[in-house]
């Protein structure tokens, strides 16, 4: 069993946490996104599904500021995000938490150090890290190194790292793609519980219907739009 | 600013998990800085000590008067003592005396004896005044008394009241140690006698070496020097202590600079290792660095973090290098002497001084070069977009930034142009720059050449015949040539430098051996046990030698120093019988000599060494007016000969001309031809039986050659040492590069294991890759090394030392080195593959790293 840390974000309102305006992105003469617009409400947990190559990961990278759109604009809590400037880096550091399919933990750092990274970068108290590790069920393993962990445990570390600095928006790109069914289910519930407990918003990109089912809302993506899934689609 | 704690975590985490690469990088910088600092400390100690010792001999004088020849008539002394503007004049006779008692255990055991006028020395050189025993004040004028410096007493193992035997030429002199000196320079071996006694006891009646002048107050030294110089004429030279300092610096400059360049080569190799290490490290950590960007580290923070990594390696390496350099310098001074066996600084015992400014400079050089080595990979890692960098397989895109064929072409072209440029201030600056450009150009061209070569190899190999492993190895080397080139760079740099040095040293050694064969045509050579002895053998002594049984013919040679230019060290004048019609019999001429019929009447034929061409601008056919004896003479340059013995220049003339012009009938050396069937030992015994036989050093030609080659090897001892260090650093780089590369490829091995390759097959594949890569590196290194050796042989050496040589390739040695590097490359690839594959590579496929 793992516990959930409760915290609230002061001044949270129902204004959109994320706004996409007319986004366009082309890779090597291939138009991936074109005129895509959408608003995500604060506190929402949204799953995005769609065919392979439709641009789901690209969209997530643009939202995270890891790549810049060729056209259009992204606003997080009203602040404009651009991949190229230092302000975007600050914004990303403060507001976003990212969970990857491939875990991405630093192999030369202990679990505690890995989870402490966002705290250090945001100059927040480090004592949140052990509590967060405990919250994901890894209490007592603080000084272990990543190579001592299983895939599921590594993803727990990634979840702890994504949440430890209490970001407003969690972005998760196929977070269970490398995990077996049971572990995947466990991780998804962990993510959902933590997000809901902390009042954060989340966007999860996935091919897995089971994973998408854990979200409040499912959006189907094509090049131009994000459309709520119909009830048939949901079933 | 990155939080300090995070900086520390990332640094320690990286070093902890890749200790070998960190240690190799630190070691490379340590060795480079240590070598540079060692050479600097030794040279500074030697040059400053030699300068200080030389200055102490001139005391408080304003000006020193010397002749172009080594001694001059003492009649000049009263003339100068009365000269307007001169407050005081102090005459000095300098004798280089041998110590026969030490000849058996020491090569050329000599020390300097100064004959001085005690009354003049009181004010001019008070430090060099003899201190007689109590109650024996007249010892300062006694003809058998000598006063020794503490260093000389210690060296000779004598004390006040003892007797010493010294020699000059064939003459032996017994002297009584009458006391010490008032205040001699520490470590300086000198003795002081009354000048009259010295002239008499050492057969130099009426001769002086120099006169020290103290000018009256208010006299402008420069104007006085110019006026006196004009009054005395070209046979006399006027110097100040600054001139001596400049000459001392000039004497060893080329040697010092060459050693420094070799040290810089080690540092350059170290910087390249840092570069390749950092490239591989950033490739390996590409997705980790991207993650840090995702988590909110800015580009500037990533750049700062990576540069900090390099800088700390540089700081650590530089600090260790300074410490090691100091220890090495102390050891080298103790075991090899101040001149590291090159013979530039005799008679001084230099002490090591830690030079803080130089230490800071070498520290900054080591750290700076390390940061420079890490700059390109750090910059590339910081500017990469994190999204693509997070994906597996994007590592190789980074290497496209390192494909710089245009830079390669520009460097190679500029290198070629620089080989055609002349020396700067007698130094081969452009030659060295050409070498650096060739190295950089070749490294920059490697990814392109490597891709081309292995693509060709891949096309030529038939998978049906060669098997899957060969196909995998050649295909990978062809398709990932950028990564292969990083490892190859280490092999290329170290092997090309090994090849270049080996060819240069072999060319020099073989040319020297050939040269010795030509300049030593006689059966036996003899000279005084003291080198640079001025007295030599009198005419009677020469006749006694010539009349020994078994001696068919004797050529006597007179060898004396002559100063032509105050800013340059003295040249050597060699007088010997030379066949005008066929001078090539004893002189290794470098071009056509002037036919004897073309020598104008009234001119004196001379043959000059190659150094005279570079340093004084003399050419065959030139008429030169030179001060000689007490007048000026017109000489004609009849030919130019190669001389490996005297880098400051030498001039040969007929012995008969020399004797006629100078009246000096002494000889310094003798070349003896024996009657057929006469044994060397018989003649040597007969010569040793002469009254002065004990002062003779008699050697068969073969032994002279062997001794010269031994001296050559001793002079190059430091070069060999530096070469070995460069090789060691290069091989460490190969090991580190392969090791780092296999770690970056751990997922690839995991995939290969999944599709059915056994661990053993992966070892074999990697060893094959290592061998192929090593083989290509050796081939490229051989071509580059040969190019560099051409620059060393035909540009750097002639411009530094003013001699030419023929190119010789030591094929056996090159083959051995190639095999050693090939074996090292294959072995390190094998060991690195074992290390990489021994872990859980199968899991590496599932994980991102």
Chain A residue closest in CA terms to B294: A66
User: pLDDT band for position A9 (50/70/90)?
Assistant: very low
Classify burial at B661, counting beta carbons within 10 Å of its beta carbon; exposed 0-12, middle 13-18, buried 19 or more. Answer: middle
Question: With an 8 Å Cβ cutoff, is A108 touching chain B?
Answer: yes
Confidence of residue A1 (pLDDT cuts 50, 70, 90): very low
CB-CB under 8 Å, A104 with B287? yes
Nearest residue of B to residue A87, measured between CA atoms? B298
Q: Which residue of A has its CA nearest to B296?
A: A93
Out of B6, B288, B293, the one facing A120 most closely (by C-beta) is B6
Token pair, residue A122, equals 């945001």
Q: Is it the case that residue A7 has pLDDT exceeding 60?
A: no
Contact call for B3 and A121, based on CB within 8 A: yes
> What is the CB-side half-sphere exposure of residue A1 using CA atoms within 13 A?
2
CB distance from A154 to chain B under 8 Å?
Answer: yes
CA distance B674 to B678: 6
pLDDT of residue A219: 93
Give the tens place of pLDDT for each residue, B127-152.
Answer: 888 888 888 878 888 889 999 998 88
pLDDT of residue B247: 64
pLDDT at B517: 86
**Measuring CA to CA, how many Å separate B544 from each of B46, B461, B696?**
42, 79, 13
> Does domain A23-234 correspond to CATH entry 3.40.50.300?
yes
Q: Which residue has the higher pLDDT, B51 or B845?
A: B51
pLDDT digits (tens, 9 = 90+) for B721-732: 766 766 666 666
Give φ, ψ of B82 to 5 degrees: -95, -5
- Chain A, 22 to 41: residues with Cβ < 8 Å from chain B are none
The DSSP call for residue B424 is B
> Nearest Cα to A79, choosing from A203, A170, A168, A166?
A168
Nearest CA in chain A to B6: A120
The stretch A76-95 carries a mean pLDDT of 75
Per residue in B305-315, pLDDT (tens digit) is 999 988 998 99
Whether the CB-CB separation of B777 and B771 falls below 8 Å is answered with no
Q: Is pLDDT at B255 greater than 70 in this prediction?
A: no
Domain residue spans in chain A?
23-234
Q: What CA–CA distance (Å, rounded) separates B455 from B448?
A: 11
Q: What is the pLDDT of residue B607?
A: 94
Q: What is the pLDDT of residue B339?
A: 56
What average pLDDT does the segment A127-148 reach?
89
pLDDT digits 0-9 by tens, A156-201: 898 899 989 889 899 998 888 777 788 788 888 888 888 888 788 9
Residues B597-626, mean pLDDT to the nearest whole number:
89
pLDDT-derived band at B565 (thresholds 50, 70, 90) equals confident
**Top-confidence residue, B338 or B686:** B686
How close, in Å, is residue B750 to chain A by CA atoms? 15
| Region B24-51 average pLDDT | 78
In tens, the pLDDT along B352-381 reads 777 888 899 999 988 988 888 888 888 888
C-beta atoms of B17 and A122 within 8 A: no
Contacts of B2 in chain A (CB under 8 A): 121
Residue-wise pLDDT tens digits, A139-162: 999 999 888 888 888 888 988 999
Average pLDDT value for residue range B833-845: 59
How much is the pLDDT for B812?
A: 92
Does A36 score more than 80 pLDDT? Answer: yes
* pLDDT tens by residue, B194-236: 999 999 998 888 999 999 888 888 888 888 888 998 888 888 8
At B98, which helix (H) or strand (E)?
strand B86-98
Average model confidence (pLDDT) across chain A: 82
Task: Dump pLDDT digits (tens) for B481-506.
Answer: 777 777 777 778 878 888 888 898 88
B523-555 confidence digits (pLDDT tens): 999 887 766 667 788 899 999 999 888 899 999
Residue B51's pLDDT band (cuts 50, 70, 90): low
The predicted structure's pLDDT at residue B840:
54
User: In B, which residues are within 8 Å of A85 by CB distance?
Assistant: none
Residue of A127, A129, A112, A109 whose CA lies nearest to B10: A109
Q: How confident is the model at residue B827 (pLDDT cuts 50, 70, 90)?
A: confident
> Per-residue confidence at B251, pLDDT binned at 50, 70, 90?
low
Instruction: Tell me the chain A residues in contact with residue B386 when contact means C-beta distances shorter than 8 Å.
Output: 66
Is B446 a residue whose pLDDT tops 50?
Answer: yes
For residues B129 and B91, what is the distance between their CA atoms, to the nearest angstrom?
14
Task: Compute the average pLDDT of residues A54-62.
Answer: 87
Chain A residues whose beta carbon lies within 8 Å of the beta carbon of residue B297: 89, 121
Q: What is the mean pLDDT of residues B174-183?
A: 88
When pLDDT is averaged across residues B806-831 and rounded to a whole number, the result is 86
Interface probe, candidates A108, A155, A183, chain B, greatest B C-beta count within 10 A: A108
Residues B12, B7: Cα–Cα separation, whole Å: 9
Say if residue B316's pLDDT is above 70: yes
**Confidence (pLDDT) at B591:** 84
Q: What is the pLDDT of residue B246?
A: 65
Instruction: List Cα–Cα distances, A171 to A46, A96, A135, A189, in angstroms.
Output: 10, 7, 19, 15
What confidence score (pLDDT) does residue B561 get? Answer: 85
3-state secondary structure of B718: helix
Task: Show the 3-state SS of B812-838.
Answer: HHHHHHHHHHHHHHHHHHHHHHHHHHH
Is residue A121 less than 8 Å (CB to CB) from chain B? yes
Confidence of residue B691 (pLDDT cuts 50, 70, 90): confident
- Substitution target in B8, B289, B382, B387 with the highest count of A β-carbons within 10 Å is B387
Smallest Cβ–Cβ distance between A106 and the set B13, B300, B392 belongs to B13
User: Using CA atoms in the order B149, B155, B161, B167, what is the torsion angle rounded to 10 degrees?
Assistant: -90
Q: Which residues in chain B are contacts of A67 at CB distance < 8 A?
A: 385, 387
Counting residues of chain B whose pLDDT is more than 90, the rounded percentage is: 19
Secondary element (H or E) of residue B589: none
Residues of A in contact with B846 (CB under 8 A): 151, 178
Beta carbon pairs, A and B, within 8 Å: 81
**A110, pLDDT greater than 80:** yes
Section B582-609 average pLDDT: 88
Find residue B86's DSSP bridge partners. B215
Q: Which of A83-92, B326-335, B431-440, B566-575 has maximum average pLDDT?
A: B431-440
Nearest CA in chain B to A165: B295
How confident is the model at residue B415, as a pLDDT? 93
Q: Which of B6, B13, B299 sits opposite A121 (nearest CB)?
A: B6
**Contact at CB, B846 and A64, closer than 8 angstroms:** no
Domain boundaries, chain B: 1-60+246-402, 63-239, 441-519+707-849, 538-691
- The residue-averaged pLDDT of B577-591 equals 86
Across the interface, do A104 and B3 touch by the CB < 8 Å criterion? no
- B70 DSSP 8-state letter: S
Q: What is the pLDDT of residue B746?
A: 73
Q: Would you call A165 helix, strand, or coil by DSSP?
A: coil
Tens of pLDDT, residues B93-125? 988 888 888 877 777 788 889 999 888 877 778
* Residues of chain A found within 8 Å of residue B6, distances taken between Cβ atoms: 117, 120-121
Q: Is B846 on the interface with A (CB under 8 A)?
A: yes
End-to-end CA distance of chain A: 30
A183 in B contact zone (CB under 8 Å): no
- Any CB–CB contact under 8 A between B52 and chain A? no
- When pLDDT is cut at 50, 70 and 90, the band that residue B809 belongs to is very high
By residue count, chain B amounts to: 849
Chain B environment of A161 (Cβ under 8 Å) = 295
pLDDT at A178: 72
Name the residue in chain A with its Cα closest to that of B298.
A89
With b for 16 or more beta-carbon neighbours within 10 A and e for fewer, the B426-451 pattern comes to ebbbbbbebbbbbbbbbbbbbbbbbb
Q: Which uninterrupted H or E stretch holds B793?
A: none
Instruction: Name the range with the highest mean pLDDT among B190-194, B584-588, B623-627, B628-632.
Output: B190-194
Q: CB–CB of B292 and A151 under 8 A?
A: no
User: E strand or H helix at A72, and its extent?
Assistant: strand A71-76
* DSSP secondary structure code for residue B792 in this structure: I
Subunit contact B9:A122, Cβ cutoff 8 A: no
For residue B299, CA distances in Å to A75, A109, A163, B14 come to 22, 21, 23, 19
- ipTM for this prediction: 0.78
DSSP letters for B615-656: HH---TT-EEEEEETTEEEEEEEEEEE--SS-TT-EEEEEHH
**Binning pLDDT at 50, 70 and 90, where does residue A65 land?**
confident
């Amino acid at each position: 069993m793992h516990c959930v840390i409760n915290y609230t974000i002061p001044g949270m309102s129902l204004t959109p946490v994320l706004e996409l305006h007319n986004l366009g992105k082309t890779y090597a003469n291939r138009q991936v996104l074109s005129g895509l617009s959408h608003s995500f409400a604060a506190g929402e947990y949204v799953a995005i599904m769609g065919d392979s190559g439709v641009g789901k990961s690209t969209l997530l990278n643009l939202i995270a500021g890891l790549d810049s759109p060729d056209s259009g604009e992204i606003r997080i809590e009203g602040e404009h995000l651009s991949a190229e400037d230092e302000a975007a880096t600050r914004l990303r550091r403060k507001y976003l938490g990212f969970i990857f399919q491939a875990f991405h933990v630093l192999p030369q750092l202990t679990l505690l150090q890995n989870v402490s990274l966002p705290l250090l970068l945001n100059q927040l108290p480090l004592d949140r890290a052990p509590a967060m590790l405990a919250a994901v069920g890894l209490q007592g393993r603080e000084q272990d190194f990543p190579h001592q962990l299983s895939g599921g445990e590594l993803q727990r570390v990634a979840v702890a790292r994504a949440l430890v600095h209490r970001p407003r928006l969690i972005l998760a790109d196929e977070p269970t793609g490398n995990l077996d069914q049971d572990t995947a289910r466990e991780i998804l519930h962990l993510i959902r519980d933590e997000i809901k407990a902390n009042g954060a918003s989340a966007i999860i990109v996935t091919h897995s219907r089971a994973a998408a089912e854990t979200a409040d809302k499912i959006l189907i993506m094509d090049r131009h739009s994000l459309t709520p899934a119909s009830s048939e689609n949901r079933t | 600013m990155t939080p300090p704690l995070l900086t520390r975590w990332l640094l320690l985490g990286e070093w902890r998990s890749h200790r070998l690469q960190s240690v190799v990088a630190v070691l490379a910088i340590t060795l480079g800085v240590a070598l540079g600092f060692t050479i600097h400390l030794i040279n500074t100690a030697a040059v400053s000590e030699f300068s200080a010792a030389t200055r102490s001999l001139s005391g408080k004088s304003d000006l020193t008067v010397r002749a172009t020849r080594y001694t001059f008539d003492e009649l000049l002394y009263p003339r100068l003592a009365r000269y307007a503007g001169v407050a005081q004049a102090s005459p000095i006779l300098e004798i280089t005396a041998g110590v026969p008692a030490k000849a058996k255990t020491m090569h050329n055991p000599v020390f300097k004896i100064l004959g001085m006028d005690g009354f003049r020395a009181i004010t001019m050189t008070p430090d060099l005044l003899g201190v007689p025993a109590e109650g024996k004040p007249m010892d300062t004028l006694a003809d058998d008394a000598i006063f020794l410096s503490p260093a000389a007493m210690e060296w000779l193992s004598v004390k006040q009241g003892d007797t010493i035997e010294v020699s000059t030429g064939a003459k032996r002199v017994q002297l009584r140690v009458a006391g010490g000196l008032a205040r001699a320079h520490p470590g300086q071996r000198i003795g002081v006698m009354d000048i009259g006694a010295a002239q008499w006891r050492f057969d130099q009646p009426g001769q002086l070496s120099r006169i020290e002048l103290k000018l009256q107050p208010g006299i402008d030294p420069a104007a006085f020097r110019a006026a006196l110089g004009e009054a005395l004429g070209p046979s006399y030279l006027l110097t100040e202590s600054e001139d001596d300092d400049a000459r001392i610096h000039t004497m060893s400059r080329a040697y010092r600079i060459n050693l420094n360049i070799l040290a810089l080569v080690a540092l350059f190799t170290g910087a390249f290792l840092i570069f390749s290490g950092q490239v591989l490290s950033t490739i390996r950590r590409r997705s980790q660095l991207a993650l840090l960007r995702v988590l909110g580290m800015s580009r500037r923070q990533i750049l700062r973090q990576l540069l900090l990594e390099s800088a700390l390696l540089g700081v650590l390496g530089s600090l260790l290098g300074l410490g090691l350099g100091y220890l090495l310098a102390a050891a080298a001074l103790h075991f090899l002497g101040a001149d590291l066996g090159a013979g530039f600084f005799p008679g001084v015992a230099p002490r090591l001084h830690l030079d803080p400014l130089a230490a800071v400079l070498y520290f900054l050089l080591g750290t700076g070069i390390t940061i420079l080595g890490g700059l390109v990979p750090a910059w590339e890692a910081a500017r990469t977009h994190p999204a693509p960098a997070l994906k597996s397989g994007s590592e190789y895109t980074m290497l496209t930034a390192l494909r710089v064929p245009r830079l390669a072409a520009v460097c190679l072209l500029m290198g070629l142009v620089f080989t055609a440029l002349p020396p700067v201030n007698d130094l081969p600056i452009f030659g060295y720059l050409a070498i650096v450009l060739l190295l950089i150009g070749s490294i920059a061209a490697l990814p392109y050449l490597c891709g081309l070569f292995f693509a060709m190899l891949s096309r030529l190999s038939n998978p049906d015949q060669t098997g899957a492993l060969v196909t995998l190895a050649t295909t990978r080397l062809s398709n990932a040539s950028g990564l292969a080139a990083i490892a190859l760079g280490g092999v290329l740099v170290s092997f090309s430098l090994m090849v270049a040095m080996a060819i240069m040293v072999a060319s020099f050694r073989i040319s020297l051996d050939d040269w010795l064969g030509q300049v030593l045509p006689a059966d036996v050579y003899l000279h005084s046990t003291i080198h640079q002895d001025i007295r030599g053998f009198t005419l009677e002594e020469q006749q006694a030698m010539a009349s020994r049984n078994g001696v068919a013919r004797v050529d006597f040679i007179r060898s004396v120093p002559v100063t032509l230019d105050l800013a340059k060290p003295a040249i050597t004048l060699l007088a010997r019988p030379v066949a005008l019609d066929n001078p090539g019999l004893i002189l290794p001429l470098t071009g056509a000599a002037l036919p004897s019929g073309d020598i104008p009447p009234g001119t004196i034929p001379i043959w000059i060494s190659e150094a005279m061409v570079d340093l004084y601008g003399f050419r065959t056919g030139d008429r030169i007016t030179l001060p000689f004896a007490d007048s000026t003479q017109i000489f004609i340059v009849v030919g130019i000969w190669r001389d490996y013995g005297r880098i400051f220049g030498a001039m040969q003339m007929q012995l008969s001309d020399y004797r006629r012009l100078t009246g000096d009938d002494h000889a310094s050396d003798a070349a003896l031809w024996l009657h057929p069937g006469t044994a060397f030992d018989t003649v040597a015994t007969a010569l040793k039986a002469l009254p002065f036989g004990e002062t003779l050093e008699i050697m068969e030609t073969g032994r002279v050659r062997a001794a010269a080659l031994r001296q050559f090897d001793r002079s190059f001892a430091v070069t060999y040492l530096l070469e070995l260090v460069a090789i060691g650093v290069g091989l460490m780089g190969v090991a580190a590069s392969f090791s780092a590369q296999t770690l970056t490829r751990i997922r690839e091995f995991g995939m290969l294991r999944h599709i059915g390759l056994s661990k053993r097959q992966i070892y074999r594949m990697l060893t094959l890759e290592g061998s192929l890569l090593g083989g290509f590196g050796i081939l490229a290194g051989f071509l580059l090394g040969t190019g560099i050796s051409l620059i060393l042989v035909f540009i750097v050496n002639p411009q530094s030392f003013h001699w030419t040589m023929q190119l010789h390739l030591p094929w056996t040695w090159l083959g051995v080195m190639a095999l050693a590097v090939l074996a090292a490359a294959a072995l390190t690839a094998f060991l690195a593959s074992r290390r990489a594959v021994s872990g859980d590579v199968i899991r590496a496929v599932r994980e991102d790293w």
